[in-house]
Structure 1
Amino acid sequence: MSYTKKLQAGGAFPAITLSDLDGNAHTLGKPRESATWQMVVVYRGRHCPLCTKYLNQLETFKSALADIGVDILAVSGDSQAQLEEHQSRMEVSFPFVYGLSEVQMRELGLYVSLPRSEQETDHHFAEPGLFVINEQGTVQVVDIANNPFSRPDLQTLINGLTWIRNPDNNYPIRGTAPY
């Protein structure tokens, strides 16, 4: 049995920098442009049709996230060539980075799977994870799954983030009570 250390809500998000297809470096958890928060979406890779569907659906929420100051960054353990092929089948405008190593996957507390065959992929890959990091670099929201069938509903997530981002609600980071 393997042990996976989970990233803690309210904890610091690890500094991981990866490149996009244009060679631009992106640090996970560091929002771009005028955003103050970032949603980091870890997906299994180009081999996963459920990931493609989820990422395409996320594109429809991009403006709602921008309205509340949340940037989006997608990441996988795929290679540059795999991401290039995958992006040809997607209709998204937020950035994707590639090359998340198995060590980095485990640093994020993700479940890691072995491919079922060479037709699936040629490397260990992360199961889905979604992190929302606030302006202090702190994990505000964390969702980690061990399979592609369990992901947060995007409309519910956006509604919740809108609630959290409203200063009138004074909503704290949840799940931080000591044991």
Structure 2
Amino acid sequence: MFKSLLISALFVLSSQVIAATATNIAESAEQVSPLLPGLAVPNIELKDQYGKTVSLAERFKEKTTVLIVYRGGWCPYCSKQLANVQKIEKELADLGAQIIAVSPDSPEKLAESKITSPNYQLLSDDSLLLAQKLGLAFYLDDKTAKIYRNKLGVNFVSLEGEVKVALPVPAVFVIDTNGLVNFQYANPNYKVRLTEDLLLAAVKSVSEQ
């Protein structure tokens, strides 16, 4: 009987471990499946640069949201994108939109940012939970992972006992006050980003609805 109970306990424990490591991470950037227009963004709570919990669902209710998912402050292409969006912040605000940029950076890393506007908030997705829910997370190949691990301190993700490095594909979503995706741009080529003109046009189309 003891042996039977032990087997049952091990089975339950094994099931819990599998459930805990179940993820939505693609094997490559080209295999991600970003959330499509018309679908709702799952309610996720993230941390800001002060470690304060922020509910995305509550923020979405406030106004149209430009949701930017980027690789991290260490990425020069991401830094350039954030700076370019900052240049059109007033135009976006005039259209009734706020900006939320999310990355795997820790709250401590976010605190080093020079972006301080209340209409342009940086949030930490250091567990890649949001990236997974948005269908943007992917594993790096071993060669790239080694470079990033040793030099850039990118997040680690463990899947079934195997430690890999994962990142989000850079993306931009325009979310309405109902939490629905109205526009989406995601490109596996992290060097190619959405232009500011196209972003403004996408936000304007939502504001006119």
Q: What range is the shorter-chain TM-score in?
A: 0.7 to 0.9
**1:106 CA drift (Å):** 1.8
Structure (1/2) with the larger helix percentage? 2
Aligned-residue identity in percent: 28
Distance 1:19 1:102, change over 3 A: closer
Partner of 2:86: 59
State the alpha-carbon separation in 1 of the partners of residues 178 and 106 from structure 2. 30
State the alpha-carbon separation in 2 of the partners of residues 142 and 106 from structure 1. 15
Partner of 1:22: 50
Partner of 2:36: 8
Distance 1:56 1:29, change over 3 A: farther
- Length-normalised TM-score, structure 1: 0.79
Distance 1:99 1:159, change over 3 A: closer
Q: Which moved more, 1:57-66 or 1:15-24?
A: 15-24
Partner of 1:121: 153
- Paired residues in the alignment total 163
Cα deviations by residue, 1:62-83 (Å, 9 ceiling, x for unpaired): 1111111111111101112322
Partner of 2:101: 74
- Length-normalised TM-score, structure 2: 0.69
Structure exhibiting the larger radius of gyration computed from Cα positions: 2
Q: Which runs of 5+ in 2 are unaligned?
A: 1-25, 156-165
Cα deviations by residue, 1:69-103 (Å, 9 ceiling, x for unpaired): 11111110111232234x1xx44521111134234
State the alpha-carbon separation in 1 of the partners of residues 53 and 60 from structure 2. 11
Q: Which runs of 5+ in 1 are unaligned?
A: 168-179
Aligned-residue CA RMSD (Å): 2.3
How do 1:1-179 and structure 2 match up within 5 A?
A: 2=27, 4-28=32-56, 30-31=58-59, 35-85=62-112, 87=113, 90-91=114-115, 93=117, 94-114=120-140, 115=145, 116-117=147-148, 118-123=150-155, 124-167=166-209
SS of equivalent to 2:111 = helix
**1:136 CA drift (Å):** 1.3
